[in-house]
Amino acid sequence: MLKLKWYFKRYVVFPAIVLTLQSLCIMKEALQGLVAFIVCRKTPSVVRTPDDCFRGIERLGYAFEPNYVELPIGGGKILPRLHYVDEGPRDAPETILCLHGEPSWSFLYRSVVTRLVNAGHRVVVPDFIGFGKSDKFTAMEAYTHELHTMTLRLLLDHLAITNVTLVCQDWGGLTGLSVVKDMPHVFSRLVIMNTGLPCGMEFSFSNIGRVMPFLLWRSFARLLGTAMPIYDIFKRGLINPSNAVLEAYAAPFPSRLHKAGAAKWPLLVPLTSHTTVATDMKATRDFLASQWKHPVLIMFSDRDPITRGEVKTFIRLIPHAVTKTVVGAGHFLQEDKGEELALNITSFIDGKL
């Protein structure tokens, strides 16, 4: 009976919800286009989250000095102001680069950073444009996979760091691993957590149960757009979070103008192979399988419904990788098991895993 209910939920209820949500999305977008045509509203192209929104987060373990840079992209143009954490000794033998995903920011790594710095490492954690303390485009169309990879490449050039250990999760994996492909000379190790390299989904009866949870999330994200409830997303995604922690995750997004980046990232995950993101993901897979010979730690949690099953892809691509399962953690395993992650990363760098 339980198996029958599971099949009914996965193969009937979920697809019906997705189709309903997609229909509502089409209606919403048509209405928005009509309203935009009738009512001309002047909105800034870039906004900055006021510092007051982050007041008190040092009491939650995020007491790092802010670092800001405006990265030039040529022709006299610069990117919006980028924020990054840069802690630990500048002359450390290696630098650990930690990348967040959707819809989080560098706050996610606070306990990991503290422990890695105490172990003697330099740790850099940027907030991607549209997130955290970085500036934010107000138009969803401004956010692309190319924007985020370009931003990361330029930041690495700006910092002039090498011998980098990449620690990545969620969209930090899609972005960071793509940059590893583009700049392999900068990186020496990879720590891959709760992420994937999607090249387009294969829609068949046999795998519909696996892809349906993501399609539901993507459909909700498309329907909600910049009305995305960041606080509630983390309330559902974290294990026993406090109100103060939830408010800290929502702090960078005080209005809908600040949420365009968070609203766009789920929509960039390729549904078919005929997209630029899918092409880059395929090239990244090929690079990892054929050219990456350096150490890799694959560290997925056991309670993540979003990237469940993706660990097998990375094990197949990188058979020499060390694998660790983080028990009792959800999608945001840095929040749920930060101390364990830091211990594993330190042991991995020291060659003890």
Let me know whether 248 and 321 are in one domain.
Answer: yes
- Within-domain flag for 112: yes
Let me know whether 22 and 128 are in one domain.
Answer: no
Let me know whether 165 and 226 are in one domain.
Answer: yes
Q: Which two tokens stand for residue 170?
A: 């969620």
Domain containing residue 326: CATH number: 3.40.50.1820
Q: Angle, nearest 10°, between helix axes 243-250 and 230-237? A: 130
Note if 331 is an active site residue: yes
Let me know whether 51 and 17 are in one domain.
Answer: no
Q: 78: exposed, middle or buried (C-beta count within 10 Å: 0-12, 13-18, 19+)?
A: middle
- Confidence class of residue 220 from pLDDT cuts 50, 70 and 90? confident
- Within-domain flag for 72: yes
Q: In DSSP terms, which residues pair with 187 in a beta bridge? A: 164
Q: Is the pLDDT score of 207 beyond 90?
A: no
Q: What is the pLDDT of residue 10?
A: 56
Give, in degrees to the nearest 5, the angle at Cα 144 between 16 and 188: 110
Q: Which two tokens stand for residue 194?
A: 């709760």
User: Does residue 233 or residue 2 have the better pLDDT?
Assistant: 233
| Cis, peptide link before residue 89, omega less than 30° from 0 | no
The residue annotated as part of the active site, out of 127, 135, 170, 336, is 170
Which structural domain range is residue 19 located in?
1-33
What is the Cα–Cα distance from 112 to 296, expressed in whole angstroms? 18
Q: What is the pLDDT of residue 27?
A: 72
Let me know whether 66 and 195 are in one domain.
Answer: yes
Query: Average pLDDT of the chain?
Result: 90
Mean pLDDT, residues 131-139: 98
Q: Which two tokens stand for residue 314?
A: 């990375």
Do residues 149 and 175 lie in contact, with contact meaning Cβ atoms separated by under 8 Å? Answer: yes
Q: What is the pLDDT of residue 25?
A: 64
Let me know whether 267 and 125 are in one domain.
Answer: yes
Do residues 36 and 42 lie in contact, with contact meaning Cβ atoms separated by under 8 Å? Answer: no
Q: What is the pLDDT of residue 329?
A: 96
Q: What is the pLDDT of residue 116?
A: 98
Q: What is the pLDDT of residue 221?
A: 82
Q: Is the pLDDT score of 213 beyond 90?
A: no
Let me know whether 15 and 73 are in one domain.
Answer: no
- Within-domain flag for 39: no
Let me know whether 114 and 1 are in one domain.
Answer: no
Note if 232 is an active site residue: no
Q: Which two tokens stand for residue 123?
A: 């740790």
Let me know whether 2 and 130 are in one domain.
Answer: no
Q: Is the pLDDT score of 3 beyond 70?
A: no
- Confidence class of residue 353 from pLDDT cuts 50, 70 and 90? confident
Backbone dihedral angles phi then psi of residue 179, each to the nearest 5 degrees: -70, -35
Let me know whether 29 and 50 are in one domain.
Answer: no
DSSP 11: I
User: Does residue 236 or residue 8 have the better pLDDT?
Assistant: 236
Q: Is the pLDDT score of 35 beyond 80?
A: no
Q: In DSSP terms, which residues pair with 68 in a beta bridge? A: 83
- Within-domain flag for 40: no
Let me know whether 112 and 229 are in one domain.
Answer: yes
- Confidence class of residue 216 from pLDDT cuts 50, 70 and 90? confident
- Confidence class of residue 97 from pLDDT cuts 50, 70 and 90? very high
What is the Cα–Cα distance from 71 to 154, expressed in whole angstroms? 7
- The long-range contacts involving 225-232, CB below 8 angstroms and separated by at least 24 positions, are 225/28, 225/140, 225/263, 226/140, 226/256, 226/257, 226/259, 226/260, 226/263, 227/256, 227/259, 228/103, 228/259, 228/262, 228/263, 230/103, 230/259, 230/262
Domains contained in the chain, number: 2
Let me know whether 263 and 169 are in one domain.
Answer: yes
Q: Which of 83-92, 215-224, 275-284 comes out lowest in average pLDDT?
A: 215-224
- Confidence class of residue 74 from pLDDT cuts 50, 70 and 90? very high
Q: What is the pLDDT of residue 202?
A: 60
- Within-domain flag for 38: no
Note if 304 is an active site residue: yes
**CB contact set of 330 (below 8 Å; sequence gap of 6+):** 237, 238, 239, 301, 303, 304, 336
Q: What is the pLDDT of residue 309?
A: 85
Mean pLDDT, residues 213-230: 84
Q: Is the pLDDT score of 14 beyond 70?
A: no
User: Is the pTM above the cut of 0.85?
Assistant: yes
The residue annotated as part of the active site, out of 100, 121, 148, 331, is 331
Q: Is the pLDDT score of 260 beyond 80?
A: yes
